[in-house]
Amino acid sequence: MNSYMLKRAIAVVPILIGISFLAFILINLRTSDPAEIALRVNQVNSPTEEMIQDMREELGLDKPFLVRYSNWLMDSLKGDFGMSFVTHKPVIDEIAEALPATLYLAGAALIIILFLSIVIGVLCSIYEGSVVDKVLRGIVFLSNAMPNFWVGILLMWLFALKLDWFDTSGMEKPSSIILPAVTLSFVYISTYVRLIRNNMIKNKNENFTLYAKVRGLKESTIIVKVFKNSLQTSITALGMSIPKLIAGTVVVENIFAWPGIGRLCVTAIFNSDLPIIQAYILIMAVMFVVCNLLVDVINNMIDPRLRKEA
């Protein structure tokens, strides 16, 4: 097991380097000049060529591409993502200020996803093929077809403008998290309902379920056993959904003016603030890879067959 974990950890390194290099290339293909935009954002309406050149030298944009990439990569490994082109503050401070709000939003959405997915998935498997099963799945899959931005606008219109139950934007009150979290969770619920339902239906026909019935165990006990043995696929999907939740807050944060890292990244894109964009991409890549690695390790700990294959 330790050997497997070591091999997986080593394999992560070239993946992250490749992602960072590709992201660096794509970001630098932009036609707009970050130096000129940085001057205009800082109230310089008509920057001269000399001013732009001086700003390029100040920001280090005059150096060759590979030199800039290697310097950025080495500094990033030390936790130094550089200075913002616009605010001239350390990027790590900007991210550290915005990240807690994003984690709060993603955590609330994850709780909603897990609760509704487990309840609906278990009910659909128990009442397989019945009206309850078909109605619940129809509602869930219909909600999955709705884009996040449209769901957010509808929820805001109904619960904030018409009913006046929640705020339309910001995070001034504890209740402000409800609408953004529900909006963010909509896309993921149907995936987990389908996984839990299908795996439970499959495991209901396995030998261990038949043996449990022969032993005379309670129906609730059998359902719990079937549920536990149906979690492996869901855990694997969950490992990828956690970073996707955090990365997917970009649209929701901008709709609800949520002061998180997604909104920070969108602002940085409009301002060509390359250090923040590069740091955001690298952090998201690390989260995806690390969560995937943790899920593999957890699955190997749970399932002896996977440990044997590893």
Identify any residues that bridge with 90 across adjacent strands, giving them in sequence order. 83
Compute φ and ψ for 119, nearest 5 degrees: -60, -50
Domain assignment present for 17: no
Domain assignment present for 310: no
We report the CATH number of the domain holding residue 248 as: 1.10.3720.10
Domain assignment present for 291: no
Are 112 and 181 in contact, with CB atoms under 8 Å apart? Answer: yes
Q: Tell me which residue has tokens 């001034």.
A: 172
* Rounded-to-integer distance, Cα 170 and Cα 180, Å: 10
Identify any residues that bridge with 141 across adjacent strands, giving them in sequence order. none
Domain assignment present for 26: no
pTM of the full structure: 0.76
Give pLDDT tens digits along the chain (310 positions): 566 667 777 777 888 888 888 888 877 777 666 777 777 766 666 777 777 777 777 777 778 888 888 888 888 888 888 888 778 888 888 888 888 888 898 888 889 888 988 888 888 888 887 888 788 888 887 877 777 778 888 888 888 888 878 877 777 777 788 888 888 888 788 888 888 888 888 877 777 777 777 777 777 777 777 787 777 677 777 777 777 788 778 888 888 888 888 888 888 888 778 888 888 888 888 888 887 777 777 766 666 555 555 5
* Number of domains making up the chain: 1
Domain assignment present for 9: no
Domain assignment present for 137: yes
Domain assignment present for 153: yes
Supply the DSSP string of 254-309, one letter for each residue. Answer: HHTT--SHHHHHHHHHHTT-HHHHHHHHHHHHHHHHHHHHHHHHHHHHH-HHHHHH
Q: Which domain holds residue 185?
A: 92-275
Q: Tell me which residue has tokens 């994003």.
A: 102
Domain assignment present for 248: yes
